[in-house]
Every structure is written in C-alpha cells, then in structure tokens.
Structure 1
Amino acid sequence: MSHKNHQRRDAFGKCLYIELKIYLFAIVGQLIEFLGKAKEGKQSEKEICAIAQAGLGQAVMLPTY
C-alpha cells in the first residue's frame, strides 16, 4: 500500500467519524426534544417510538462511500 493511499484512508476515517458524531448528536437532540414533549403530554408513546426508530434507521443508513 502506498503512503498516499494510507493518508487518504485516514482522512476518510476522520470524515466518517465526524459525520457519525453529527448524526448521533442530531438523534439524541431529537429524542430529548420528543421526550420533553411527552412529559408535557403533547405526544403519545407510539409517536415517540416511531420517531426513535426513524432516527436509528437514519443512523444505520449513513452514506457509504
């Protein structure tokens, strides 16, 4: 493996890691927001579960390069 390829792979790994963190923060933020609404009785438990599952689905479907 050439040195250039190794550098490219490292940069790719960093990008993916940053992207993963952004997705995770977004999902956690959504969950906190919806749990807050649930406590106020604004949303049903079914809705929250659906949203949580959708969030997890988005995390799994990260863009693959």
Structure 2
Amino acid sequence: MKDQDIVTPFAKATASQGEQQNCVEVAHTANGGRAVRDSKNRDGGTQFYTPAEWTAFLDGLKAGGLGLGR
C-alpha cells in the first residue's frame, strides 16, 4: 500500500450539508494523512497532506491563526 492510498470514504462535514455550497470532503490516507477534494468538483483533483501537515492545519484552526470566521 502506498502512503497516499485513500483508505476511507470521503466525508463532508455535517455543517456543510444542505444549502452550504462551499464544501470540501476529507478522507484518511494509508500513512495517516488526509486527502482533500472539492465536493462540487470531485474530478477536479485531490490534495494530499502528510500527518504532520494535517496536524499543523488543525492546530492552526484551533488557535484561530488562519483568519477564518473573522
């Protein structure tokens, strides 16, 4: 199995259900990282993040340092 093999189905956040149009889907990869794609354009490409990159992203969200929701 390769590091970037997707090992779970893609999932969209429950907060993104319904009329929300700006959504991404996330799946786990074999190395513990994540694969991310646009839910409106699933064939448009997938971005892959290592476990360390994904952890840094989540830490940034938790710290409020990404400027989201401001």
In the superposition, the TM-score normalised over structure 2's length comes to 0.28
Q: Considering fraction of residues, name the structure with more strand.
A: 2
